Amino acid sequence: MDLRVNPDVFTGLLNAIEADQQQLDIALRESATGKRVNAPADDPGAVAGLIQNLTQSSAIDQFTHSIATLQGQLQAGDGALNAAVQLLTQAISLGVEGANGTLTQADRQAIANQVIGIQQALLEQANITYQGNYIFAGTAVNDPPFVADSTSPSGVRYVGNEDVNGVEIAPGQLISVNLPGDQIFDASNGDAFQALHDLINALETNGDIAGATAELNRALSAVSLQRTFYGSTLNNLTATGLSLSQQRISLAQQQNDLIGIDPAKAITDLVQADTTLQAALESFAKIPQNTLFDYLR
C-alpha cells in the first residue's frame, strides 16, 4: 500500500498562522490608536468620507476663530460707545448746571473746562483701537479716524472712510462688523463733537447754553441708537458660534463613526485574534517533525 504525504499541510498551516498574525497585528494597532482605519487601504470609502469631514471641520474652526476675533472687536467698540454715552450724559448735566442764571462767568468757565476734558475723552474713545486697528475708521483702519482741526466747525474732523467690513462667519452668512465713525459721532441727527463745541462756546460767552444742551441730548440719542448695532451683531455672533459648535460636535461623532472603533469589540477582537494565533501555533508544534522530512530523504 502506497503511503501518500501531503506536503501542503505545512504550507497551509503556515499560511493560516501568518493570517492569524496579521489579524492580531490589526487588532493591536486598532486598540493602540483607537481607530479601525489607520491607512487608506484599510477602508478607502471611509477615508474619502474622512477627508470631506476634515475639510468641513477645518472650515468650521476658521469660522470659529474669526467669530472670536470679531467678538473682541465688537466688544471693544461697544465698550467705547458705552463710555461715550456716559461722557455725553455727564456733559448734559454740566450744561444744565451751566444754564443756572446765578453762576458767575468764572463758574461757567470752570464748567467749560470740564466739558473740554469730556471733548478730549470722547475723541479718545472715537479713536479707540483693537489689535492695532482703529474700530471707527471704516476700512481705513491704520490711521486715527478723528483728528483735532481748528478749521472745522466742531474742532474735530473725520478722516476715515465710509466703507463697511463684511465678514463671512458661516457658510453663506456674511455680516457687517463695523460702522463708519462719522455715522456715530458726527451724525446728521446728532453731532456729538459739534454739540460739545457749541456748549463750550456757550459757557465761555454766556451764550445759548440751553440750546447747546439740547444738541447734546440729540447727540446722545444718536450714539445710543448706533450702539444697538454692536449689541445685535454680538448676539448674532454668539448664536452663530453656538451653531458652529454643535456642527463641530456632530462632525467629531461622524469622524468617530467613520474610522473609530467600539472599545468593547476591539478588546474582544484582540483576545480572539491572540487565542486563534496561539491555537494555530500549538497545532503546528504538535505535528510530528518526521512526517514530511523523513519521506523526503
Give 186's strand partners. 191
Which range is least confidently modeled, 39-48, 148-157, 283-292?
283-292
Mind listing the pLDDT tens digit for each residue in 42-83? Answer: 678 777 877 888 888 899 999 999 999 999 999 999 999 999
Question: Tell me, what's the pLDDT at 36?
Answer: 64
The answer to whether residue 276 scores a pLDDT higher than 90 is no
Question: Tell me, what's the pLDDT at 226?
Answer: 92
The answer to whether residue 285 scores a pLDDT higher than 80 is no
Q: Following DSSP, what letter does each residue of 189-223 receive, concatenated?
A: TEEHHHHHHHHHHHHHHT--HHHHHHHHHHHHHHH
Sign of CA dihedral 256, 260, 261, 263: negative
Question: Tell me, what's the pLDDT at 111?
Answer: 97
Residue 296's pLDDT band, with cuts at 50, 70 and 90, is: very low
Q: Which one, of 83, 115, 96, 72, lies nearest residue 185 by Cα?
A: 83
Which range is least confidently modeled, 176-185, 223-232, 248-257?
248-257
Higher pLDDT, residue 32 or 212? 212
Residue 295's pLDDT band, with cuts at 50, 70 and 90, is: very low
Domains of the chain by start residue, with CATH: 72-164+178-226 (1.20.1330.10)
Residue 188's pLDDT band, with cuts at 50, 70 and 90, is: confident
Question: Tell me, what's the pLDDT at 1?
Answer: 46
